[in-house]
Amino acid sequence: MSAPVIETRGLGYVYNPGLPTEKVALRDVNLQIERGEFVGVIGQTGSGKSTLIQQLNGLLRPTSGQVLIDGEDIWQDKEQLRRFRFKVGLCFQYPEYQLFEESVYKDISFGPKNMGLSEGEVDARVRDAARFVGLGEEMLDKSPFELSGGQKRRVAIAGVLAMDPEVLILDEPTAGLDPRGRDMILGQIKAYHAEKGNTVLLVSHSMEDVAKFATKVLVLNDTGVLLYGTVDEVFSRAEEIRAIGLGIPQITQVFRALRQRGYPVSDTVYTVAQAKGEILRLLAERGAAR
């Protein structure tokens, strides 16, 4: 059996150790994420989400424990760290603030060029990444600073995709976007995952988005892992999730309320599409019973 694409063993991290401002951010995190999963990462502010994803990319070095990518400890040889950073692509919140090149093409190509790829391979990756995020060929010669906020966001995400990472980590990729822009970005990320089969970690505060797009859900609380499992497994434990100040999808709350009032509907509905199917099923059963 192959190793998980991501594994942490006893992972811990402390900010400012030994100082009055010392703060434990992660404590004894043991986690295995299999190749090809789409993982929604949720948790309250201060739960350790940002610290964890920076550990997975090697931006922060563990205070204790290990981070393994494809079964290899990423800190075993510091000279190999750069290789792991190409394997785990990290897109920060508001990534458009990191754009700096004079054209969209050059910005997207920055990562692949640093990987030492040939000019032809760089060009192929730039155009493929632009396609994934819905940027037409005519956009590639434009300055990124001429674009709208949503377009800049897509350029920044394309820059990470162009490195073709085994693991793509996105920290609140739809923050600040309107509903249309949010749905567009998430739809493109889902299409990328479906076509490439790479592992995706999506940090989000939206339970609806996590339920709609993720195959697994990771819940962090108080510096550690509270829950990790399928969408059904995690959201079925609604009381535990509510106890740490998080919610379950609104549509789930509606269907649980309907069930409590005697309607024979499932209480494991997490998306609008599932809700539609459940209502149609109930109407068909009632129609057949007449």
Q: Which of 50, 101, 56 is nearest to 81 (CA)?
A: 56
Classified as helix, coil or strand, 274 is: helix
Q: How far apart are CA 86 and CA 74, in angstroms?
A: 12
Can you give 195-251 as a three-state secondary structure string? HHCCEEEEECCCHHHHHHHCCEEEEEECCEEEEEEEHHHHHCCHHHHHHCCCCCCHH
Query: In the chain, what are the domains?
Result: 1-76+166-235 (3.40.50.300), 101-163 (no CATH), 249-290 (no CATH)
> Under a CB-based contact definition with an 8 Å cutoff, are residues 125 and 162 in contact?
yes
Cα gap 274→206, rounded to integer Å: 17
The pair of three-digit structure tokens given for residue 206, joined into one six-digit string: 């939206």
Q: Is 91 left (phi over 0), alpha (psi -120 to 50) or beta?
A: beta
Q: Please tell me the predicted confidence (pLDDT) of residue 289.
A: 61
Do the Cβ atoms of 201 and 170 come closer than 8 Å? yes
Quickly tell me which residue has 């800190």 as its tokens: 75
pLDDT number for residue 142: 94
Q: What angle do CA 47, 51, 199 make, to 5 degrees?
A: 100
* Predicted model pTM: 0.90
Give Cα separations from 115 to 57, 77, 80 (angstroms): 16, 19, 13
Q: What integer pLDDT is reported at residue 288 of this predicted model?
A: 67
- Residue 214's nearest CA partner among 203, 224, 225 is 203
CA-closest candidate to residue 14, choices 75, 63, 66: 63
Cα dihedral across residues 262, 268, 271, 273: positive or negative: negative
pLDDT for 1 equals 59
**What is the distance between the alpha carbons of residues 116 and 166, in angstroms, rounded to a whole number?**
17
Class of residue 94 by CB neighbours under 10 A (exposed 0-12, middle 13-18, buried 19+): middle
Query: CA-CA distance, 125 to 63, in Å (whole number)?
Result: 36
Q: What is the pLDDT of residue 236?
A: 87
Residue partners of 21: CB distance under 8 A and separation at least 6: 15
Q: List the chain pLDDT tens, one digit each, 290 residues.
A: 578 999 999 999 999 999 999 999 999 999 999 999 999 999 998 899 999 999 999 999 999 999 999 999 999 998 889 999 999 999 988 888 888 899 999 999 999 999 999 999 999 999 999 999 999 999 999 999 898 888 899 999 999 999 999 999 999 998 888 888 888 899 999 999 999 999 999 999 999 999 999 999 999 999 999 999 999 899 989 889 999 999 888 888 888 888 888 888 887 888 888 889 888 888 888 776 66
Q: Distance between CA 51 and CA 54 in Å, rounded? A: 5
DSSP secondary structure of 41-105: EE--TTSSHHHHHHHHTTSS--SEEEEEETTEETTS-GGGHHHHHHHEEEE-SSGGGG--SSSHH
